[in-house]
Structure 1
Amino acid sequence: MARIRRPVCTNKRWRSGPFVLALVTFWCRASAQIRYSISEEAKAGSVVGNVAKDLGLDRSALKTRDYRIVGSGAEPLFHVNADDGVLYVSRKVDREEVCERGNACVINLKTVLENPLEIHYVAIEVIDVNDHAPVFPEKQKRLEILESTLPGARFQLQPARDADGGQFSVQQYKLSNSDHFRLEVKERGEDRKMPFLILQKQLDREAGKEHRLVLTAVDGGRPARSGTIDIIVAVLDFNDNAPVFTKDVYSAVLNENAPAGTLVMQVNATDLDEGENGEIIYLFGKEGDAHLQELFNINPKTGEIKVAGQIDFEKCHSYELDIQASDKGTFPLSTDKTVTIKIIDVNDNPPEIDVTSFSKSVPEDSRIGTTVALISVHDLDSGRNGKISCFTNEDIPFVISPSLQDNFYAVMTKSHLDREEKSFYEIKIVAKDGGEPSLSSEKTISVVVSDVNDNTPQFSQNPYTFYVSENNVLSAPVFSVRASDHDEGENAQISYHIYRNSSDGTGLFLNINSVTGSIVALKSFDFETLKSFNFQVVATDGG
């Protein structure tokens, strides 16, 4: 529908000179302004209105007078039919192409009807159609936020743009559901809204390295059009996690005497942080025993614990190492763990034999079971390696018998002794442990069998028969006797005497040397008077 408005001749633009003033005077008498409205996106050939009819021009007059649009661009949007004065759309009208966004879109046409000259202005208002969806400057937005950022932090987002204006422009923003973020929209001038992302719950990179959100801009059309942008929030790591060992308990067993470099075990820890905040080094605890660091070392990168010194079960049965896992953050976090290493005994110590009591000599008349020596044995090893048996493997009249107290033994006689048969023994004591292979020690003790006067003197002949010449020289040895004794010492020192109790009294005229056994006559013998006689000599030892 056309609206006709008569021009007012007070416009200053038309008062710049005499010619223009005359023109204005003419225009005021014979011109009018017509206003039409069309929807954008009107197709070529669409009728805008009948200018001639709306101006009250006779259609027959148009046949003799030229009616046209003047001052249009190279590609006019409209054209008028000179025959009937109907105004048509020449090409598709795009409001966003011909008008500034947000302003009322009015296209002013200047038409001329000649003979006589009449100028008419036609104003065409292009009514906006919601033919554009909101568009963000980019399809994806990446934000990097430290996980230590406190709730309430604001992050400005690029607003969407909509080529349409008015109610068809962006009216609202919507954010996809998120526990950590909410959306806040601020008005910035006319028809402009600025979205802000608000952190409402602190981020945790270890729970989620990134958050994907969708921001939607919606215009006011019916139906509404919308545009979206993907927002990727990358959570930057903050060193808020200490290393955590993968096991609650670390324990190992290790043979004593393990050579340097032997792997004991490997500890392992993880850190949920990333970069240097999650890079772990292993070391001994600061309060740990410095001596242990001489026996073991730990690889700072791998956590491998290896033998560094001499491991001796007899010095220590187990070790507890304080291990620390620390990250490389600017302000490093660390965790301590105790590693228990149990040392396994190796049979590396032979038994030791100590003689606690010893009789160097034993009377030969000692009863069976007489104790000769008391010995104790001990082994620094443990278990079977320290279990000792003690014995002698020689055929001697002695035996080694365990006592009531552990690791104590008695060396005792197991048969009668006879000094005259053997007067000296070397007893080899053997102590052997129960290890595999077993170790043994030997100790030798010397035992002297002391003499007992258990042997009587024995004459070399019994009886003795001697021949003596008559008229013998007095005090000269006529013969001698000889006795011996298997004993020794005083028990073997023999003295002689003549038994004086003979009935015939012959022993009275003889005398014997008590030491040598030589016999001398105290008178001369006369064959005619005494042809033979008997007497007794007694040999006595000094026992």
Structure 2
Amino acid sequence: MFVWFNILSFSIVVFFLLPLHSAYGDVSYSFPEEMKRGSVIGNIAKDLGLVASRLSARKARIDTEGNHERYCDINLNTGDLTIAERIDRDGLCGKKASCVLKQELVLEDPLELHRISLHVQDINDNSPQFKKDIIKMEISESAVKGVRFSLDEAHDADIGQNTVQSYTLQRNEHFILNVKTKSGGRKYSELVLDKELDREGHHEIKLLLTAMDGGSPQRSGTVVIHVTVLDKITLFTAIHSFSNVCLHCQSVFATERDRWLLNVFYRITYIL
């Protein structure tokens, strides 16, 4: 009776320990995003030392590990790991430096679990974009050479070299471009006045600003800079006067309104 009890206890212990030793190894794959459905990532049977002809009998399948989507599948005839769903790295991982999706390969008889790490690489599938189609600016013709004007930066959903790397400005008579880098590595540009403006010569100037990424093939985005050249203050356009009988004084109001500048209000008061 004592021997039978020990044997029964040993059987129970073995039964509970088996699942704890069922994971035989992990495997990782690196591939670009946006691969077509059915594309081969690698031969997981070969990489794990599995017999491909036994995959079907062992009910090999891919399960998700904390993901809602199953991004890869296994070909039970060849052992190839294939793309099951479209993988958009930018949508899944945003600007993160690395994008890793976790899946599991499950086999039965005997039970095996293999963790799969899918390292999704960014491709240059997005172009730089500006928030607006037109950047409107008003600059007085009295502005001095060398004055700088900050411009809206372009944004790119890609990362690394595939994001914005440079800006160029259409050649023109009055402006040049100064490209700078922020602490995080993002590029932005400034419009620099290189030759003083003359409203009589050009009251409007249109320039094309281009943002370019560093991918291959290279992608770009553009925005139009519309500069309105403002007059210097020179013209009185309205004069109004009134008399205050009680104080025996007269006040004259002169409102100078330049066509393109803010209203400038003058008040001249003198005692009659």
1:304-338 per-residue CA deviation (whole Å, 9 max, x = no partner) reads xxxxxxxxxxxxxxxxxxxxxxx876599xxxxxx
Judge conservation of contact 2:62–2:70 (CA < 8 Å) in 1: no
1:358-408 per-residue CA deviation (whole Å, 9 max, x = no partner) reads xxxxxxxxxxxxxxxxxxxxxxxxxxxxxxxxxxxxxxxxxxxxxxxxxxx
Letter in 2 for 1:101: K
TM normalised by structure 2 equals: 0.74
From 189, 196, 206, the equivalent of 1:212 is 206
Judge conservation of contact 1:157–1:197 (CA < 8 Å) in 2: yes
- Compute the displacement of 1:117 (Å): 2.6
Paired position in structure 2 for 1:71: 64
From 40, 51, 63, the equivalent of 2:44 is 51
Larger Rg: 1
Residues 189 and 68 of structure 1: CA distance in aligned 2, closer, same or farther (over 3 Å):
farther
- Compute the displacement of 1:45 (Å): 1.0
Paired position in structure 1 for 2:21: 26
TM normalised by structure 1 equals: 0.39
| In structure 1, distance between residues paired with 2:170 and 2:216 | 22
Paired position in structure 2 for 1:228: 222
- Compute the displacement of 1:232 (Å): 0.5
Residues 62 and 331 of structure 1: CA distance in aligned 2, closer, same or farther (over 3 Å):
closer
Judge conservation of contact 2:107–2:113 (CA < 8 Å) in 1: yes
Residues 84 and 328 of structure 1: CA distance in aligned 2, closer, same or farther (over 3 Å):
closer
Residues 141 and 278 of structure 1: CA distance in aligned 2, closer, same or farther (over 3 Å):
farther
- Compute the displacement of 1:108 (Å): 2.3
Judge conservation of contact 2:128–2:154 (CA < 8 Å) in 1: yes
| In structure 2, distance between residues paired with 1:208 and 1:23 | 84
1:437-474 per-residue CA deviation (whole Å, 9 max, x = no partner) reads xxxxxxxxxxxxxxxxxxxxxxxxxxxxxxxxxxxxxx
| In structure 1, distance between residues paired with 2:76 and 2:167 | 50
| In structure 1, distance between residues paired with 2:157 and 2:224 | 21
Judge conservation of contact 1:212–1:233 (CA < 8 Å) in 2: yes
- Compute the displacement of 1:214 (Å): 0.8
Q: Helix, strand or coil for the counterpart of 1:231?
A: strand
Residues 142 and 75 of structure 1: CA distance in aligned 2, closer, same or farther (over 3 Å):
same
Letter in 1 for 2:32: S
> Structure 1 residue 109 and structure 2 residue 97: aligned?
no
Paired position in structure 1 for 2:85: 91
Q: How does 1:389-428 map to 2 (within 5 A)?
A: none
Any gaps of 5 or more consecutive residues in structure 1? 1-21, 241-276, 282-326, 333-543
- Compute the displacement of 1:26 (Å): 2.4
Taking CA–CA contacts closer than 8 Å with sequence separation of 6 or more, which of the two structures ends up with the larger relative contact order? Answer: 2
Judge conservation of contact 1:36–1:125 (CA < 8 Å) in 2: yes
- Compute the displacement of 1:64 (Å): 2.9
| In structure 2, distance between residues paired with 1:145 and 1:48 | 56
Task: Give the superposed CA RMSD.
Answer: 2.8
Judge conservation of contact 1:48–1:88 (CA < 8 Å) in 2: yes
Judge conservation of contact 1:102–1:164 (CA < 8 Å) in 2: no
Length, aligned pairs only: 228
Paired position in structure 2 for 1:184: 178
Judge conservation of contact 1:215–1:229 (CA < 8 Å) in 2: yes
Residues 174 and 137 of structure 1: CA distance in aligned 2, closer, same or farther (over 3 Å):
same
